[in-house]
Structure 1
């Protein structure tokens, strides 16, 4: 695991976008999984600009969706896929065959998990996994207590995740389960970037990076990844001294 602190969110976002572009330029047919949520939005805006100005060509890449609220889909404002489509996939003008996102409305969610597992495993793992961290230390929708060995799965949402998740919806919405990549895919990914921004994440980040590796704090798994990158702004790193 390596660690890089940036002075602010803007510099964090620009650097991350340029790094993703460099990965794609080096391997044009890369398999990437990029998170939704607030933290990577700045990165995605920069990456779209890099593509529009010809500094990266994403036409041969494959993108995998990280997670989704069970019962919601791309057409539902507030869903995970809604935002990543809005901020990244649609502006990049990706073809349908370049996108693999969970169908969280499917009648057979076990088969959905197997479909995404099969895609990732058939490619020998992800070339890049970009994730954020929840207030309780979750990665994707792998809540505290989720085994590190799981692949794609459906899990019950923690109360804190349900509460925070309401901000993505215009009105209070019932959220109970999530379908998500498992931490097995994080372990097997060739490179993992954890992006963290804001002072509100500082205490959890300190536990994840300075405390023991534990399934009770899923983000702590980054400590074990040989090519794990933890990139954050000064506010998120305010409680860290050295790593």
Structure 2
């Protein structure tokens, strides 16, 4: 379950190839995608490989985990903007192929219901990419989010707002709420890979390793998934016993 790599770049290389192999096996793959600084080397390498090999993505569909409430899609800190800047525009995915929850809609409750329904209607996610917050959240599912939750609006914890505040000019601009794919939506994916890199993730990864399956640690539910892999660089894995770690490269 826990795999250690020599560097974030090594993870990006392996994971990019894994996503490409997934698409080659199933050209109409439905991919669940994440944002954040952890994913930047992954998307950079994936975009490079797509271009190098002229990979056909015409049947691929993507669903993103989350979006801030109150930010327009064109806002530079929205996840819609992030995905277009770092991935979609580089690999030329058409807007009809990509889905992100809207935090800037007229009826956010309806948006939540329809987002989960769309995922189910396309047969569910073939692959879900995840990061992890320093408090153990996946997506924006904060501690004590119900494990049976579907897409919903969450009030962001102070810890999460502090983590994400570095991307905004001042504290007042940091969103207080987000719309996020629910834990049940995530767990219904056929395969999940969680990525954690950097020394600042070492404590939460140790907590995840030691945690029972408990809503206090949202990511702990992943231990019940039949096809879960957790990829870490050496820094993020530094507090986990060597005997529990596997290597892929």
TM range (shorter): over 0.9
In structure 2, list runs of 5 or more residues that go unmatched: 245-249
Taking the aligned partners of 1:86 and 1:74, their CA distance within structure 2 comes to 12
Unpaired runs of 5+ in structure 1? none
1:77-120, Cα deviation, whole Å (9 max, x unpaired): 11222212211111111111101111111121111112211111
- Residue 6 of structure 1 corresponds to 5
Instruction: Give CA-to-partner distance per residue, 1:157-196, whole Å, 9 cap, x none.
Output: 1001111111222333141111000010121100001000
TM-score (norm 1): 0.96
Tell me whether 1:83 sits opposite 2:82 in the alignment.
yes
How do 1:1-243 and structure 2 match up within 5 A?
2-54=1-53, 56-172=55-171, 173-241=173-241, 242-243=243-244
- Residue in 1 aligned with 2:247? none
> Which has the larger share of helix?
2
Partners of 1:83 and 1:174 in 2: how far apart?
Answer: 16
Task: Write the deviation string for residues 108-162 of structure 1: whole angstroms up to 9, x where unpaired.
Answer: 1111112211111112210011010001110010000100101100011100111
Moved over 6 A (4+): none
Q: TM-score, normalised by structure 2?
A: 0.94
Count, aligned residues = 242
- Give the distance between the partners of 1:91 and 1:55, measured in 2 at CA: 12
**CA RMSD, 1 decimal:** 1.2
Q: Is the 8 A contact 1:77 1:169 kept in 2?
A: no
| Alignment partners' CA distance in 2, 1:8 and 1:45 | 15
Change (3 A) 1:168 1:174: closer
TM superposition shift of 1:221: 1.4
Greater Cα shift, 11-20 or 73-82: 73-82
1:14-41 per-position Cα deviation (integer Å, ceiling 9, x unaligned)? 1111111110111110111110100011
